[in-house]
Amino acid sequence: MGYRIAVGGKGGVGKTTLAALIVRGLLKKGKTPVLVVDADPNTNLPEAVGMPSDATVGSILAGFIDDKASIPSGMTKEAYLQVKMHSAVAEGKGMDLVAMGRGEGPGCYCYPNLILRGFVENLSENYPYVVIDNEAGMEHLSRRTSETIDHMILVSDPSIRGLRSARRIHALIKELDLDVAKSSLVVSRAPDPLPAPLEEEIRACGIPLLGKIPPDKMIEEYDLAIRPLTELPDTSPAVAASERILEDMNLA
């Protein structure tokens, strides 16, 4: 089973950016192939790593539900679904990607999450590294979308609300007794030095601080130009910080 890194946090704190930077770092160090999983229905990670794709777990499930009559004779619907699911895997240089996408109904992601979890469990057997960009917030944890995680990185922006959200997610992981070997905190867009109230809140979180990603104009420029963050140069401050994070995770 591959080493699984999951990135979580409330919406807008930079978790997708960090997930893309982690993928970039793994690719640079030759730690491939990497399975990149976008488990957020608001699919953003494919563009962030330069692998946009319309094929998602949600769209494939919707098509399967609407078109059961096309199941080949002699094949079970479960086997046929697995064949269809593999068409959601986008192949790239050193990495493959699968995205959950939207559910089969308005606001309903439970079934795609269940299917995605089982699919990723089987698929990840073929990859030494798996990077998962989780859905924002806490609901995915109660649905146990992320079943087995080696390192859960909780991301916060430099705000009290962001840090307290990370703290609540960390508490829920413990409460649900999820299979998470290690949890850490990363503060994105972090000024240097951090204001004293934020330093105090970080200590109160009880989550080991893994690192800080500084503000980086290059990320804004790449976003405006619709360029993948995996193409950021080594001179990017965010890239340098993410590489230090990988070193501290013993992955560099």
SS3 of 146-178: CCEECEEEEEECCCHHHHHHHHHHHHHHHHCCC
pLDDT, residue 67, reads 66
**Who contacts 79 (Cβ-Cβ below 8 Å, separation ≥6)?**
none
Return left, alpha or beta for 2; rule: phi > 0 is left, psi -120 to 50 is alpha, else beta. Answer: beta
- Whole-angstrom Cα distance, residue 252 to residue 37? 21
The conformation of residue 195, written as its DSSP 8-state character, comes to P
pLDDT, residue 79, reads 76
- The dotted CATH code for 3-248 is 3.40.50.300
State the burial class of residue 94 (Cβ atoms within 10 Å of its Cβ: 0-12, 13-18, 19+): middle
- Whole-angstrom Cα distance, residue 60 to residue 247? 38
Give me the residue spans of the domains in the chain: 3-248
Which of 228, 250, 231, 249 shows the shortest CA–CA distance to 52? 228
**pTM reported for the whole predicted model:** 0.89
pLDDT, residue 155, reads 97
Q: How far, in Å, are 25, 44, 129, 176 from residue 238 at the CA level? A: 11, 18, 21, 33
Locus of tokens 């068409």: 87
- Whole-angstrom Cα distance, residue 49 to residue 54? 15
pLDDT, residue 69, reads 56
pLDDT, residue 59, reads 80
**Which residues, given as ranges, of the chain have pLDDT below 50?**
104, 107, 142, 145
Tell me phi and psi for residue 131, to 5 degrees. -120, 120
